[in-house]
Amino acid sequence: MFRSLRRALSAAVAALALVLPLGLGAQTAHAAEPGAGYWHTSGRQILDAAGQPVRIAGINWFGFETGNHVVHGLWSRDYKSMLDQMRSLGYNTLRLPFSDDILKPGTLPDSINFADGKNADLQGLTSVQVMDRIVAYAGRIGLKIVLDRHRPDSGGQSALWYTSAVPESTWIADLKALATRYKGDSTVIGIDLHNEPHDPACWGCGDTARDWRLAAQRAGNAVLSVNPELLIMVEGVQSFNGVSGWWGGNLMGVAQYPVQLDVPNRLVYSAHDYATSVAQQPWFGDPSFPDNMPGVWDRYWGYIFKQNIAPVWVGEFGTTLQSTVDQKWLAALVTYLRSTSAYGADSFHWTFWSWNPNSGDTGGILKDDWSTVDTVKDGYLASVKAPGFPGTGSPGGGDPGGGTASCSAAYTVSSDWGGGFNAEVKVTNSGTTALKSWKVTWTWSGSQRVTSMWNASYTQSGATVTASNADHNGAVPVGGSASLGFGGAPGGGGVPVVSCTAT
């Protein structure tokens, strides 16, 4: 289990009575493809270089912070295919955890598969040079990146931003080195200064050895001194004024002790929130659960957004989705984050934990084969996904100004219980130019009907179903793929032939 169970939880949480205004007169934006250039903040929104609001709607891909010193899964697949798949599923931002170990000279990645041409351009590179390649390709296909200082070293997370082996001076020097390394490349739009500060870390206590708010100011200003275009992501702590919660998830102190940076409009507050598959919290046992959850989130971090103080980014949230409690929690959180169709970019920002299936207490969007998508888990996130961002080049090597647009589709039944079934249709760009949109059609031989569908819209006439891409997954690079999932009834049907049309 690469992600540790890392929550030392409070015994009780005070009753929640904070009521916050939702309507602040902030604009609701529905820009088609914003995101160019570096970003900055305005009130509770993040704006691109042209002043258009953007929404971070992304995924965590971990591994650089572990003893492998590189993102996981490259033992199975090529890194470009991973990034293409993220993009095709509608994730527009990648949070990339790392440890300071990768900044040490000569640190090499472990467990990369080079067979059959996989990861060919990564051979012989150091860990940070592999990161360079990931950043470069992400930029080509329109993925933004937030670098996350997840651990001081690959041995594990730390409560404070420093340890005896990695002092504050090293932390700040390494953050500045990365900010300098990617200066001028707006693919990297921000740095998450330190992952999940927790007890004895404090917020606003004034003790420079423990006060995370003061440390974040020192580090954030150091980063901005070498790259003033970056967003500075500052997580919460565990406890404030005797109220505890998730590691990194308590931002109650911001109201009294806001972070103050030398460069204005660069601060984003970040919270983490989890379900019972990670650990229990008192609110899960509240008789009013899940109706109590908006009040919990308001109190810990949501008020920052609702009072128009600053943007709020839920940098991590996840679950195995096995228990009913966890399912209700995720559904409630997604609703709280505000759907893109209703609110556009005037919303909370997020990156789901995780892409990786080998997160022991949450699992991932990918299943254990590092290829198949958990369409149920991914489907929960469909309403809060957001439009992608313009890339810096041809996504998959095809000529965006020419070539042939074509696609193929594969239909897979993921589960069948007789009375109903779940299935996935995977669309692959088989042409020589990027797809702008697609639709698939199939005809069942029996009486099956679609009962629900995610990552696509559909019509059904008799036994024939036609499904068209959602807004977030119509663009598919050459060789890339997109997926839709659906539930149907009754079960027991065969696998129909699916036709795909590039539109």
**Residue 369, phi then psi, degrees to nearest 5:** -80, 0
Q: Is the distance from CB of 352 to CB of 394 less than 8 angstroms?
A: no
- Chain Cα centroid distance, residue 477: 20
Burial class (CB in 10 A: 0-12, 13-18, 19+), 36: middle
d(CA 354, CA 58): 10
Cα 148 from Cα 353, distance rounded (Å)? 13
CA atoms of 139 and 122, how far apart (whole Å)? 17
Can the peptide bond before residue 347 be classed as cis, meaning omega within 30 degrees of 0? no
DSSP 8-state assignment for residue 460: E
Give Cα 272 to chain centroid, integer Å. Answer: 12
Which residue in the list 196, 229, 235, 424 is annotated as catalytic?
A: 196
Q: Residue 365 and residue 353: Cα distance in Å, rounded?
A: 8
Q: Which residue pairs, CB below 8 angstroms and at least 24 apart, start in 221-226?
A: 221/261, 221/262, 221/263, 222/172, 222/175, 222/176, 223/175, 223/176, 223/179, 223/191, 223/193, 224/261, 224/262, 224/263, 224/266, 225/176, 225/262, 226/176, 226/179, 226/180, 226/183
Amino acid at 369: D
Is residue 168 part of the annotated active site? The answer reads: no
Distance separating alpha carbons of residues 168 and 197, to the nearest angstrom: 14
What CA–CA distance (Å, rounded) separates 182 from 499? 43
Residue 449's DSSP bridge partners are 489
Task: Count other C-beta atoms under 10 Å from residue 462's C-beta.
Answer: 9
Tell me the two tokens of residue 407.
């696609």
Count H helices and E strands in the chain, helices first: 9, 21
The Cα angle at residue 108 between residues 105 and 112, in degrees rounded to 5: 160
DSSP-H helix ranges across 202-317: 212-226, 293-297, 303-306
Q: Tell me how far apart the alpha carbons of residues 316 and 274 are, in angstroms, rounded to a whole number.
A: 8
Q: Beta-carbon neighbour count of residue 154 at 10 Å?
A: 18
φ/ψ (deg, to 5) at 289:
-55, 135
**Which of the residues 65, 229, 235, 316 is marked catalytic?**
316
Catalytic residues, which ones?
196, 316
